[in-house]
Amino acid sequence: MANPTRYDILLESSTVMFGLAIFVWYASKKRLPYPPGPRRLPIVGNLFSMPSREEWVTYRSGPKSPV
């Protein structure tokens, strides 16, 4: 095998950098926002929004209609 020259190393590193730049650009594209959810409190989040008893009844009934 031949030893890589400076130009080979430069070409390979610039190809990797270009690929990384394309990946970062594609990953940072704007996406649609998530739908609004329940209000959150600092640190505890939605802890107090969860039912304290008979959770299975609440979770089985599914989401409630906003009408």
C-alpha radius of gyration, the chain, whole number: 26
- Those residues with Cβ within 8 angstroms of residue 49's Cβ, 6 or more apart along the chain or in another chain: 38
What is the per-residue pLDDT across 37-51, written as a single tens digit (0 to 9) for each?
A: 777 778 887 777 777
pLDDT at 65: 60
Which of 19-28, 47-56, 57-66 has the highest mean predicted lDDT (pLDDT)?
19-28
What is the per-residue pLDDT across 15-43, written as a single tens digit (0 to 9) for each?
A: 999 999 999 888 887 777 778 877 777 88
Q: Compute the mean pLDDT over every residue in the chain, rounded to the nearest whole number.
A: 82
Query: What pTM does this model have?
Result: 0.42
Beta partners for 45?
Answer: 41
pLDDT at 66: 60
